[in-house]
């Protein structure tokens, strides 16, 4: 990619119109509508602007404008959430990225978690230096989200309760069960705590492993939630599940049908 170079009066006018008429990113189809030109001609114009260093290509047919103060066309994404919304919709920002947004963790994660209806071949794309982790969710699982504004664009993010449920479903979304547990404890201490909604989301998601992990964790770290613990017990499914698929687990908590690592110390209920 070349450094920034001059741009003619007509191109400057057109570029200004396109930037004003788009939100965060520029697609060929959007630009064609704004300029009232054919798709093919617009694609050539955007390619020319990219070569001159006024746009940066995200993928085929999608660009972002380069700030005027930039000395190079090689820039990073100013707001990865906007690009995620453009590339992977219908989707929502989830996992540790949502936990950061809701103040459930002080950890800094450099990868953006995106839950999408799409089935991308590359689950860990790197776009302009920003890493993404993509997870496919079903249509019925697209619930428990809120819309937030990013540069006049609505982007969906999992609400605090759904964020916790997703991490109980797949601890990797929280950086592993230990990190996810810290976020869960912060959730229980926060104004966002909603045990009834937590149970409702768990039932709606329909993943038996969630109730096993949720019941076990509540019993160990929030034993006062007796009703919720009883609900988790009533929702147990057959078979045993690992507390975290990424960790070695050699102790079985039969009460919760959950394999846990020895490092988790003493457990409630029987074991074998």
Same domain, residue pair 86 and 56: no
Same domain, residue pair 108 and 26: no
The predicted structure's pLDDT at residue 4: 47
The predicted structure's pLDDT at residue 68: 59
Closest to 194 (Cα-Cα) out of 157, 144, 149: 144
Range of the domain at 138: 78-188
Residue with token string 């689950």: 123
- Indicate the pairing of strand 62-65 with strand 111-116: unpaired
State the DSSP H helix or E strand holding residue 152, giving kind and residue range, or none if neither: none
Residue with token string 């950061």: 100
User: Mean of the pLDDT values across residues 233-243?
Assistant: 95
- Report the distance separating Cα 161 and Cα 196, nearest Å: 10
Whether residue 268 has pLDDT greater than 50: no
Residue with token string 């707001």: 79
Residue 213 confidence class, pLDDT cut points 50, 70, 90: very high
The predicted structure's pLDDT at residue 224: 97
Whether residue 12 has pLDDT greater than 90: no
User: Mean of the pLDDT values across residues 194-214?
Assistant: 97
Give buried/exposed letters for 155-165 (b at 16+ CB in 10 A, else e).
Answer: bbbbbbbbbbb
User: Mean of the pLDDT values across residues 248-262?
Assistant: 93
The predicted structure's pLDDT at residue 267: 42
User: Mean of the pLDDT values across residues 2-18?
Assistant: 76
Between helices 9-21 and 28-35, what is the axis angle to 10°?
A: 120
Q: Is residue 105 part of a domain?
A: yes
- Report the distance separating Cα 202 and Cα 234, nearest Å: 13
Question: How far, CA to CA in Å, does 241 sit from each of 164, 180, 211, 222?
Answer: 18, 17, 10, 21
Residue 20 confidence class, pLDDT cut points 50, 70, 90: confident
What digits encode the pLDDT tens for the residues 99-158?
999 999 999 999 999 999 999 999 999 998 899 999 999 999 999 999 999 877 899 999
Same domain, residue pair 88 and 136: yes
Predicted structure pTM score: 0.84
Same domain, residue pair 98 and 136: yes
% of residues, the chain, pLDDT over 70: 92
DSSP per position, 156-211:
EEE-HHHHHHHHHH-GGGGTSHHHHHHHHHHHHHSTT--HHHHHHHHHHHT-HHHH
Q: Is residue 142 part of a domain?
A: yes
The total domain count for the chain is: 2
Give buried/exposed letters for 60-92 (b at 16+ CB in 10 A, else e).
Answer: ebbbbbbeeeeeebebebebbbbbbbbbbeebb
The total of other beta-carbon atoms located within 10 Å of residue 115's CB is: 28
Q: Is residue 126 part of a domain?
A: yes
| Helix runs in 22-66, H state only | 28-35, 39-52
The predicted structure's pLDDT at residue 71: 47
Whether residue 38 has pLDDT greater than 60: yes
Same domain, residue pair 182 and 103: yes
The predicted structure's pLDDT at residue 5: 58
What digits encode the pLDDT tens for the residues 41-98?
999 999 998 888 888 888 888 988 887 554 445 555 778 999 999 899 999 999 999 9
The predicted structure's pLDDT at residue 60: 87
User: Mean of the pLDDT values across residues 213-220?
Assistant: 96
């Amino acid at each position: 990619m070349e450094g920034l170079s001059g741009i003619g009066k007509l191109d400057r006018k057109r570029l200004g119109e396109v930037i004003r008429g788009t939100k965060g990113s520029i697609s060929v189809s959007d630009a064609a509508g704004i300029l009232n030109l054919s798709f093919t001609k617009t694609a050539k114009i955007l390619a020319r602007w990219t070569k001159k260093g006024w746009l940066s290509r995200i993928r085929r047919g999608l660009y972002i404008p380069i700030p005027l103060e930039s000395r190079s066309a090689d820039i990073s994404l100013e707001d990865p959430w906007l690009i995620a919304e453009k590339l992977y919709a219908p989707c929502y920002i989830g996992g540790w990225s949502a936990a950061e947004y809701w103040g459930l963790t002080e950890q800094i994660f450099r990868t953006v978690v995106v839950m999408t209806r799409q089935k991308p071949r590359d689950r860990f794309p790197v776009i302009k230096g920003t890493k993404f982790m993509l997870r496919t969710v079903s249509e019925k699982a697209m619930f428990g989200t809120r819309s937030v504004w990013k540069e006049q664009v609505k982007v969906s993010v999992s609400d605090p309760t759904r964020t916790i449920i997703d991490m109980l479903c797949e601890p990797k979304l929280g950086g592993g069960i230990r990190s996810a547990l810290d976020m869960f404890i912060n959730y229980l201490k926060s104004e966002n705590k909603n045990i009834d909604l937590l149970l409702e989301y768990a039932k709606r998601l329909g993943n038996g492993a969630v109730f096993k992990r949720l019941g076990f964790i509540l019993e160990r770290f929030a034993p006062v939630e007796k009703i919720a613990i009883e609900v988790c017990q009533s929702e147990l499914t057959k078979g045993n599940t690992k507390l975290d698929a990424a960790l070695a687990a050699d102790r079985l908590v039969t009460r919760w049908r959950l394999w846990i690592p020895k490092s988790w110390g003493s457990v409630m209920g029987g074991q074998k």
